[in-house]
């Protein structure tokens, strides 16, 4: 079968491989894609992550590398937290910054700062062969809380309050987070495209 964007798609539309080392991401994605009849299988490996200012470039590179190993319907997702008063930091470096500075580090950088606007961005890259890859972008706007709250989720969830809620992502159930999140936004775009092929 041929996709609208030219991507050849397996006849078994139901099964997609998600190459990620992050079980939280996987659980969120599985829940969303189930609504579209897509079954997600986790390929638990650290993807090859290049340093770049652009999430899309990082996701496409990682997916090409995964597809060089196995030509099968595969998805990669790259995400980051972009804080307005920090000129978009940590952005594509979120994973490293979370490891080194943690949520407390971001809160320290924002000490006494009134403008707490931030957004999470996500890029989902999907393909069947390294030469043809489709990407889908998602975003959620919100604010950085004054202190960490909640125990669910991962990463910067305890300090991010999406627009339209009073709770941080870490105070939400997986389903509530999926109602708002950048990842859900990108994945729904992917799922609509994929199921229309
Ligand atoms: P992969 O194996 O899929 O790459 P990862 O956790 O390294 O898993 P990313 O490179 O996309 O994934 O992660 C960037 C970092 O941004 C991640 O480690 C978190 O600290 C943060 N982040 C991304 N999405 C998030 C979310 O939904 N909630 C909280 N933090 C998030």
The structural domain count of the chain equals: 1
Give the range of the structural domain holding residue 75, as residue numbers without chain letter.
15-194
Q: What pLDDT score was predicted for residue 3?
A: 40
Q: At a CB cut-off of 8 Å and minimum separation 6, what does 114 contact?
A: none
CA of 102 to the centre of ligand 1 (A): 12
Q: Which of 78, 104, 117, 157 is catalytic?
A: 78
For residue 7, being part of any structural domain is answered with no
Residue 6 has pLDDT above 80, yes or no: no
Does a structural domain hold residue 105? yes
pLDDT tens digits along 56-111: 999 999 999 999 999 999 999 999 999 999 999 999 999 999 999 999 999 999 99
At residue 50, the pLDDT reads: 80
Question: Distance between CA 187 and CA 138 in Å, rounded?
Answer: 8
Beta carbons within 8 Å of 95's beta carbon, 6+ residues apart: 49, 155
Ligand 1 near 93 CB (within 6 A) = no
48: its two tokens:
């090859």
**Gap from CA of 24 to ligand 1 centroid (Å):** 9
Distance CA 123, CA 24 (A): 16
Q: Which atom of ligand 1 is nearest to the CA of 45?
A: 2
- Atom 4 of ligand 1, nearest CA residue: 20
Q: Annotated catalytic, 78?
A: yes
Residue 40: which CATH number? 3.90.950.10
Q: Whose CA is nearest to atom 20 of ligand 1?
A: 155
Whether the pLDDT of residue 127 is over 80: the answer is yes
* Pair 16, 40: CB distance under 8 Å: yes
Residue 44, pLDDT > 70, answer yes
* CB of 91 closer than 8 Å to CB of 84: no
- The reply to whether ligand 1 has any atom less than 6 angstroms from the CB of 155 is yes
pLDDT of 10 higher than 80:
no
Residue 2 within a domain:
no
At residue 7, does pLDDT exceed 70? no
């Amino acid at each position: 079968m041929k996709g609208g964007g030219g991507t050849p798609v397996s006849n078994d539309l139901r099964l997609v491989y998600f190459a990620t080392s992050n079980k939280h991401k996987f659980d969120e994605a599985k829940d969303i894609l189930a609504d579209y009849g897509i079954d997600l299988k986790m390929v638990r490996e650290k993807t090859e992550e290049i340093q770049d200012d652009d999430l899309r470039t990082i996701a496409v590179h990682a997916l090409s590398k995964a597809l060089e190993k196995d030509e099968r319907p595969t998805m990669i997702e790259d995400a980051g937290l972009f804080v307005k008063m920090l000129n978009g930091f940590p952005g594509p470096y979120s994973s490293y910054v979370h490891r080194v500075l943690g949520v407390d580090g971001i809160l320290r950088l924002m000490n006494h700062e009134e403008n707490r606007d931030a957004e999470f961005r996500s890029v989902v890259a999907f393909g069947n062969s390294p030469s043809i890859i489709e990407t889908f972008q998602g975003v959620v706007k919100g604010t950085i809380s004054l202190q960490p709250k909640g125990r669910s989720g991962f990463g910067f969830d305890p300090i991010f309050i999406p627009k339209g809620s009073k709770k941080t992502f870490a105070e939400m159930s997986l389903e509530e987070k999926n109602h708002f999140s950048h990842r859900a936004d990108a994945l729904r775009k992917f799922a609509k495209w994929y199921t229309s092929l």
